[in-house]
Amino acid sequence: MTTSTNLITVDEQAKFFHLHNEQISYIFRVIPEIGQLEQVYFGPVITTPLDFHHLISREFRPSNNQLIDDGTSSLEHIRQEYPCFGTTDFRQGAYAIRYASGDYISEFKYQQFAITSGYPDLGELPHARYHDESAATLTVTLQDQYSPLQIQLHYTISTKNAVIIRSATFVNTSNTDSYHLDRALSLNLDLPDADYDLIHLHGAWAKEMQVERRPLMTGRMAIDSDRGASSHQHNPFLALAATDSTEKDGLVYGATLLYSGNFLGQVEVDNYDVTRLSLGISPTQFDWTLTPQSKFQTPEAVLACSHTGLTGMSQAFQQFFREHVIDQKWVDQPKPILINNWEATYFDFDEAKLLKIARQAKQLDLGLFVLDDGWFGKRDSDNSSLGNWTVDHHKLPAGLSHLASEVNQLGLKFGLWFEPEMISLDTPLAAEHPEWIVGHPQKRRSQGRNQYVLDFSNPDVVSAIFEQMAAILHSAAISYVKWDMNRYISEAFSTYLPAERQGEFYHRYIMGVYHLYHLLITEFPELLIESCAGGGGRFDGGILYYASQGWTSDDTDAVERLKIQYGASMLYPLQSMGSHVSAVPNHQVGRRTPLSTRAAVALFGTFGYELDITKLTATELAEIKAQIQFAKSVQPLIQKGKFYRLASPFTSNRPAWEVYDSETKTGLIGYYQILNPANPSYHRLQLRGLVPTQKYQLTEINLSNNTILSTEEVFGDELQNIGIILNKDYTNKAAEYWQRPQPTDFASRLFQLKPTE
């Protein structure tokens, strides 16, 4: 018998499961002899008939440990869906259960399947959502042979996205017994070969999302975070790109997690060139007690597959985040262009100074004034007042509501910075509740940026911070919050959790963070929240579920940002990347870049300004006004268009990228020259994703005054195959050549595409 929907086909006799849409196929089966799940195929769509028996291959390896006496039932040699270490498979498993006797010996066998429409609702744990009618979920239940435990494996596929969403639910059906879950990953994918490069995004504060590509080796390669947040160090993303794949072509798998806490992403190549890709909550110090009648739900892993190179993978993820993760309220809505006072004033401000900036902002047609750190307690530096969310009346004698209403009266929205998870020791909260600080009361607790972390695994702590934040948010017309998080968790210990539940701390902590987000957006549904963690220290798919944009990095230098935003574009949509024009010399690297380049980079994100606009020349102000006008005109394109990386800032002196919306046939292309060479070589920029037969108007924009430098009508095929010719034709124009404005380092050019009819 066959059960079939437009997305999932199940051969109930042979027990083959096939998830498919127009782009991808994912096939696995139950091995009849042993009841375990075997991975059969994941890749570009396969439209062969239902019977996939011919895809199974097994070498005879009798000397290895066998489940049954047949020479081919060693799990070590079977590509599995959700493996367990130590039961004839010696590779790293997806889960580990510790039983009452102290052993880890599980034997989960296939029991049943169910197909439901839409996406599973995981409550406050971030999950894919929306457009439910276009998605279907296959749930396969496995039954332990030694306990009443079950594992439910969920696989969701939708009609449009080239992704599979996977997660697991551990169900304890016992009324009396508890079990320990020491490892519970979200995704395991065993691929039949090892001809891949691993691509991942690593970094540190102010240099997030650096792209690295390395060939796989036999053995294990891992990225992870055990810092309490997904981290600057490794983004929860990895891609396996066929060694011959490029930006444009070839097979690429990508995986990410809708989760903001500790994670492990790992690739293990065994001695038979099978590649095991796994991703989930980090097992480090993880120990979850499955109490009687309880469940544990892993975060969702999103698995993308592209046969059009890295571009296809990135666009699959970006589309998925836009359509199924980010709050739909914000996806297409024009976002106000903001000015943030941080790099303008740091902690040194008063109402007059802020209003001067706000008045100037209005002159420039900005839409949102964001008051950053330093407005509360006695916060004149970073060693005080976190957790005391009351207005500093020395700096703001008339209070926040006065400031907000003055800003509102100017015609700007008002936004405010918080760092909800943190505490400074000089606060009433720390005096009243020292036990709310993460750490062991009798042992060292390290400070980071002079501050400590509140125990968000304790619901009382989350409620108390919510009360304080809600009081502030009710007290003034605040339409935006920047939620910061500036240190990682070390010496993890919760006085709230009993000794045997300390292994649950990190996950409970991040669930506490999500709960506070949930409380805030429930109480203030119109609030736009930007996440931040010392820049991009918690920039991940989980946080995007609650905060539709994130501050990508504290490094605001345009040249550095090319790399950071390029890296982030591996999976995140442009509209999620906060990117601001800041002052020169740049505060992080001291570099002087032209104002036009700073804007030409920041435009490819959620655009804003972060500098003292009261100290600029009239020329600079006029230029900024023109930039803002232009940014508003291209915002729908940035929010909706597909992103193409044309040349990498990691390998090229002339990085470039393009956004193109196939519906409106409009595009925006940014081209950057990092260092200016003497006697330059010829260069052309080939565009992507256009309609070959469409005639476009190609316009070069002068961002300084929002005027047109040049315009011509060109067909899509010419722009894609020949490209934009970047050198001028100086034939018979010697005088013009000698009088041309001297090109500079850190220059940029911006081109716009529109259909001619």
As measured in angstroms, the least distance from the Cβ of 532 to ligand GLA is 5
φ and ψ at residue 188, rounded to 5 degrees: -135, 130
Listed in sequence order, the DSSP H helices in 603-727 are 618-640, 716-721
**Nearest-angstrom CA–CA distance, 125 and 104:** 27
Using the contact rule CB under 6 A, the part of the chain among 104-112, 532-540, 623-631, 681-689 near ligand GLA is 532-540
Using the contact rule CB under 6 A, the part of the chain among 17-25, 194-202, 306-314, 528-536 near ligand GLA is 528-536
Tokens of 437: 């600080």
Query: Which of 554, 555, 557, 661 does the annotation list as catalytic?
Result: 554
Query: First and final CA of the chain: distance in angstroms?
Result: 53
Residue with tokens 């009710």: 474
Query: Torsion angle of alpha carbons 316, 320, 321, 326, nearest 10°?
Result: 160
**Nearest-angstrom CA–CA distance, 701 and 707:** 6
Listed in sequence order, the DSSP H helices in 377-427 are 399-410
Of all residues in the shown chain, the one whose CB is closest to ligand GLA is 373
Q: Is 207 helix (H, G, I), strand (E, B) or coil?
A: coil
Task: Check whether the bond before 585 is cis (ω within 30° of 0).
Answer: yes
Three-state SS string across 253-265, please? EEEEECCCCCEEE
Tokens of 548: 């539709």
418 binds ligand GLA (CB under 6 A): no
Query: Which of 11, 484, 540, 557 does the annotation list as catalytic?
Result: 484
342 binds ligand GLA (CB under 6 A): yes
Judged by CB under 6 A, the residue of 255, 532, 562, 638 near ligand GLA is: 532
554 binds ligand GLA (CB under 6 A): yes
Sign of the alpha-carbon torsion through 485, 407, 342, 332: positive
φ and ψ at residue 515, rounded to 5 degrees: -65, -40
Residue 111's nearest CA partner among 189, 27, 36, 187 is 36
Between the alpha carbon of residue 152 and those of residues 113, 167, 601, the distances in Å are 9, 8, 45
Q: Which is nearer to ligand GLA, 41 or 205 (CB)?
A: 205
Three-state SS string across 680-724, please? CCCCEECCCCCCCCCEEEEEEEECCCCEEEEEEEEEHHHHHHCCE
534 binds ligand GLA (CB under 6 A): yes
554 is an active site residue? yes
426 is an active site residue? no
Tokens of 590: 């001291």
Q: Which is nearer to ligand GLA, 345 or 704 (CB)?
A: 345
392 binds ligand GLA (CB under 6 A): no
As measured in angstroms, the least distance from the Cβ of 484 to ligand GLA is 5
**Complete DSSP assignment for 58-72:** ----TTS--SSTTSS
488 binds ligand GLA (CB under 6 A): no
Q: Which is nearer to ligand GLA, 140 or 533 (CB)?
A: 533
As measured in angstroms, the least distance from the Cβ of 536 to ligand GLA is 9
- Within 8 A by CB and 6+ apart from 645, the residues are 247, 310, 311, 314, 566, 569, 657
Judged by CB under 6 A, the residue of 203, 283, 503, 535 near ligand GLA is: 535
As measured in angstroms, the least distance from the Cβ of 574 to ligand GLA is 19
Q: Which is nearer to ligand GLA, 406 or 484 (CB)?
A: 484
Judged by CB under 6 A, the residue of 263, 321, 417, 493 near ligand GLA is: 417
CB atoms closer than 10 angstroms to residue 683? 15
Total chain residues near ligand GLA (CB under 6 A): 12
As measured in angstroms, the least distance from the Cβ of 381 to ligand GLA is 10
**Nearest-angstrom CA–CA distance, 362 and 344:** 16
Task: Report 202-261 residues binding ligand GLA (CB under 6 A).
Answer: none
Task: Report 362-391 residues binding ligand GLA (CB under 6 A).
Answer: 372-373, 382
Tokens of 656: 């470039």
Q: Which is nearer to ligand GLA, 89 or 484 (CB)?
A: 484
608 binds ligand GLA (CB under 6 A): no
Q: Which is nearer to ligand GLA, 41 or 347 (CB)?
A: 347
484 binds ligand GLA (CB under 6 A): yes
Using the contact rule CB under 6 A, the part of the chain among 10-18, 237-245, 531-539, 730-738 near ligand GLA is 531-539
Judged by CB under 6 A, the residue of 137, 266, 275, 486 near ligand GLA is: 486
Judged by CB under 6 A, the residue of 551, 644, 671, 672 near ligand GLA is: 551
Q: List, by residue number, the catalytic residues.
A: 484, 554
Give me the residues that bind ligand GLA (CB under 6 A), please: 342, 372-373, 382, 417, 484, 486, 532, 534-535, 551, 554
